[in-house]
Amino acid sequence: MRIRAQSDFWCGLLFAAIGIATVVLARDYRMGTAARMGPGYFPALLGYLLVFLGLTLTLPSLFMDGEKIPRVHPRPVLIILLSIVVFGLVLDSLGFALSVFVLALLGSLAEPELRARESVALALFLATFSVVVFHSLLGLPLALWPNF
Amino acid sequence: MDILGNLAFGFGVAVSVKNLFYCFIGVFLGTLIGVLPGIGPVATVAMLLPLTFNLDAATAMIMLAGIYYGAQYGGSTTAILVNIPGESSSVVTTLDGYKMARQGRAGPALGIAAIGSFIAGSFGTLIVALFSPFLADIALKFQPADYFSLMVFGLIGAVVLARGSLRKAIAMVVLGLLLGLVGTDVNSGVMRFTFGIPALAEGISFVALAMGMFGIAEVIYNLEQGSKTRQTYTSSLGSVLPTRADFRLCLWSIARGTGLGSVLGILPGGGALLSSFAAYTIEKKVAKPPRRFGDGDIRGVAAPESANNAGAQTSFIPMLTLGVPSNPTMALLIGALIIQGIQPGPNVMTQRPELFWGVVASMWIGNLFLLALNLPLIGLWVRLLAVPYKFLFPAILVFCCIGVFTINNNPFDMFQLVLFSALGYVLLKLGCEPAPLILGLVLGPMMEEYLRRALLISLGNPWVLVTSPISFAFLVASLVLLASIAVPLIRAKRQEMI
As a whole number, mean pLDDT of residues A8-13 equals: 91
Checking if the pLDDT of B498 tops 50, the result is no
Prediction pTM value? 0.84
As a whole number, mean pLDDT of residues A62-81 equals: 85
Distance from CA of B415 to the nearest CA of A (A): 6
Which has the higher per-residue pLDDT, B244 or B413? B413
Cα separation of B287 and B310, whole Å? Answer: 19
Contact assignment for A126 to B394 by CB distance below 8 Å: yes
Mean predicted lDDT score pLDDT of chain A: 87
Cα separation of B397 and A107, whole Å? Answer: 7
Checking if the pLDDT of B49 tops 80, the result is yes
With bands split at pLDDT 50, 70 and 90, how would you rate the model's confidence at B247?
Answer: confident
Contact assignment for A91 to B461 by CB distance below 8 Å: no
With bands split at pLDDT 50, 70 and 90, how would you rate the model's confidence at A24?
Answer: very high
Contact assignment for A35 to B460 by CB distance below 8 Å: yes
Map residue B25 onto helix, strand or coil.
helix
Select the residue of B171, B192, B456 nearest A53 (Cβ to Cβ).
B171
Checking if the pLDDT of B492 tops 60, the result is no
Closest to A6 measured CA to CA, from A68, A81, A98: A68
Q: Which residues of A touch B227 (CB under 8 A)?
A: 113
Checking if the pLDDT of B228 tops 60, the result is no
Residues B57-83: pLDDT tens digits?
A: 889 989 998 998 888 888 888 788 877
As a whole number, mean pLDDT of residues B248-274 equals: 79
Contact assignment for A67 to B426 by CB distance below 8 Å: no
* Contacting A residues, span 59-118, partner chain B, CB-CB under 8 Å: 67, 69-70, 72-73, 76-77, 80-81, 83-85, 87-89, 91-92, 100, 103-104, 107-108, 110-111, 113-114, 118
Distance from CA of B448 to the nearest CA of A (A): 6
Size of the A and B interface in Cβ pairs below 8 Å: 176
Residue B455 touches partner A, C-beta closer than 8 Å: yes
> What is residue B88's predicted lDDT score, i.e. its pLDDT?
64
Cα separation of B242 and B305, whole Å? Answer: 15
End-to-end CA distance of chain A: 59
Alpha carbon of B416 to those of B395, B419, B421: distances in Å? 20, 5, 8
Mean predicted lDDT score pLDDT of chain B: 82
Nearest chain B residue to A135 by CA distance is B406
Written in H, E and C, the secondary structure of B217-285 is HHHHHHHHCCCCCCCCCCCCCCCCCCCHHHHHHHHHHHHHHHHHHHHHHHCCCCHHHHHHHHHHHHHHH
Lowest-confidence region among A84-98, B233-247, B275-289, B324-338: B233-247
Map residue B183 onto helix, strand or coil.
strand
Residue B170 touches partner A, C-beta closer than 8 Å: yes
Residue A141 touches partner B, C-beta closer than 8 Å: yes
Alpha carbon of A125 to those of B63, B402, B495: distances in Å? 27, 15, 44
Residues B288-310: pLDDT tens digits?
A: 766 677 777 888 888 888 888 88
Contact assignment for B429 to A72 by CB distance below 8 Å: yes
Q: Which residues of A touch B54 (CB under 8 A)?
A: 138
Residues in chain B: 498
Closest to B22 measured CA to CA, from B366, B310, B378: B366
Map residue B184 onto helix, strand or coil.
strand
Alpha carbon of A134 to those of A126, B50, B54, B65, B403: distances in Å? 12, 10, 12, 22, 10
Checking if the pLDDT of B179 tops 70, the result is yes
Give phi and psi for B192, each to the nearest 5.
-105, 135
With bands split at pLDDT 50, 70 and 90, how would you rate the model's confidence at B178?
Answer: very high
Select the residue of B219, B452, B458 nearest A37 (Cβ to Cβ).
B452
Neighbours of B89 (CB within 10 A): 29
Q: Which residues of B touch A11 (CB under 8 A)?
A: 168, 171, 427, 430-432
With bands split at pLDDT 50, 70 and 90, how would you rate the model's confidence at B380?
Answer: confident
Cα separation of B468 and B13, whole Å? Answer: 39
Nearest chain B residue to A137 by CA distance is B51
Lowest-confidence region among B232-241, B415-424, B448-457: B232-241
Which has the higher per-residue pLDDT, B439 or B237? B439
Nearest chain A residue to B411 by CA distance is A88
Checking if the pLDDT of B273 tops 80, the result is no
Contact assignment for A130 to B402 by CB distance below 8 Å: yes
Question: Which of B63, B220, B428 to mutate to test binding with chain A, by most A CBs within 10 Å of its CB?
Answer: B220
Checking if the pLDDT of A9 tops 60, the result is yes
Checking if the pLDDT of B173 tops 60, the result is yes
Contact assignment for B397 to A72 by CB distance below 8 Å: no
Q: Is A33 exposed, middle or buried (0-12, 13-18, 19+ CB in 10 A)?
A: exposed
Map residue B191 onto helix, strand or coil.
strand
Best-predicted range by mean pLDDT (A78-92, A124-138, B147-161): A78-92
> What is residue B460's predicted lDDT score, i.e. its pLDDT?
83
Residue B414 touches partner A, C-beta closer than 8 Å: yes
Q: Which residues pair with residue B192 across a beta bridge?
A: B183
As a whole number, mean pLDDT of residues B241-264 equals: 82
Checking if the pLDDT of A102 tops 90, the result is yes
Residues B304-351: pLDDT tens digits?
A: 888 888 888 888 888 888 888 877 888 888 888 888 888 888 888 888
Contact, B345 vs B139, CB < 8 A?
yes
With bands split at pLDDT 50, 70 and 90, how would you rate the model's confidence at B279?
Answer: confident
Residues B354-377: pLDDT tens digits?
A: 888 888 888 888 888 888 887 778
Question: Which of B186, B195, B224, B482 to mutate to test binding with chain A, by most A CBs within 10 Å of its CB?
Answer: B224
Lowest-confidence region among A142-146, B139-143, B487-491: B487-491
